[in-house]
Amino acid sequence: MSDIPTPHNTAGINDFAKTVLMPGDPLRAKFVADNFLDSAVLVNNVRGVQGYTGEYKGKKVSVMSSGMGMPSIGIYSYELFNFYNVENIIRIGSAGAVADGLKIGDIVLAMGACTNSAYARQYELPGTFAPIASYDLLSQAVSLASERGIKYRVGNVFSSDTFYDDAESLISWRKMGVLAIEMEAAALYMNAARIGKNALCICTISDCPFTGESCSAQERQTSFTSMIKLALDLA
C-alpha cells in the first residue's frame, strides 16, 4: 500500500521540492507563494494547512505551513521527510526575544533548540538528546546574512510546549544564554536527525516578553521579508 496520500497531505509524490520552507502560519505560506514564487501551485490544503510549490530564481521550491507547536510540526515534517522525499526543511517563524539586545525584526539562527517537550521520549534514548541544526544550512545562512548586512544572532532557542507559561520560566532560560522562545524547532530538528535529513530554524523576533513590545498578527504574516529571502536563497 502506498504511503501517500497521508492523513495530512494529499499531494502527489513529486509535488514537493527537495527543500520546503515551513512557516507556522498558513497565511504566511500563502504570502510567500504569492509574492516570491513563480508559477506557484497549491499542492496540499488538508485542514487549511496550505502547501505550495513554485520556482524561485529558476529553482523548484516549496512552502507549507507547519501549524502551531511541536506535535503539529512533528507530523508535517515527518511526512515530508519520510514520504515525500524532502531533503531540507527550513522553518521561517516568529520568536520572542529572551536575550538582552534582541529587537523586533532581528533574526535568530537556531543552532540548537532547548525544550520542555517530551517529544524525544519516543526514541527511548538512554540520556538527553540535544536537537541541533544541520551545519551546512546554518553555515550558509550565516554567510548570506553577513553578506547582506542583516542583523542576526546565532545560538540556542527554547522550543516551548506552552505559550502561556504559569511558571514564568523565561528568566531561567535567559540565564543559560538562550536567545529566543518559539514552539517548533526542537521537534523539527529531532525528526531531521532521526531520518538523516537537514533542518534549520530561522526566526524573526516578533515580540519582547520582558518589555511588552510586539508585532501585530498582520505584521507577522507579511513583513518578515529578510528572513524569507534568506531562506529562499538557501533552497
Which grid cell sits at 84?
Answer: 515525500
Average pLDDT, the chain: 93
Is residue 9 situated within a structural domain?
Answer: no
Q: What is the pLDDT of residues 31-81, one digit of tens each?
A: 999 999 999 999 998 888 899 999 999 999 999 999 999 999 999 999 999
Told to judge if 207 belongs to the known catalytic residues of this protein, a careful annotator would answer yes
Counting residues of the chain whose pLDDT is more than 90, the rounded percentage is 82
Q: Which of 10-14, 180-184, 186-190 has the lowest mean pLDDT?
A: 10-14
Is residue 158 situated within a structural domain?
Answer: yes
Question: Virtual CA dihedral for 196, 202, 207, 209, nearest 10 degrees?
Answer: 40
For residue 54, give every residue at least 6 positions away whose Cβ sits within 8 Å of its Cβ, in sequence order, or none: 33, 37, 38, 39, 40, 41, 60, 61, 62
Residue 151 sits in a domain whose CATH number is: 3.40.50.1580
Is residue 94 situated within a structural domain?
Answer: yes
**What is the Cα gyration radius of the chain?**
17
Is residue 14 situated within a structural domain?
Answer: no
List 38, 136, 207, 233, catalytic entry: 207
Q: What is the pLDDT of residues 197-225, one digit of tens each?
A: 999 999 999 998 888 887 776 666 555 89
For the whole model, what pTM was predicted? 0.94
Is residue 195 situated within a structural domain?
Answer: yes
Domain count, the chain: 1
Q: What is the Cα–Cα distance from 233 to 61, expressed in whole angstroms?
A: 10
Q: What is the pLDDT of residues 73-131, one digit of tens each?
A: 999 999 999 999 999 999 999 999 999 999 999 999 999 999 999 999 999 999 999 99
Is residue 3 situated within a structural domain?
Answer: no
Is residue 75 situated within a structural domain?
Answer: yes
Range of the domain at 198: 19-234
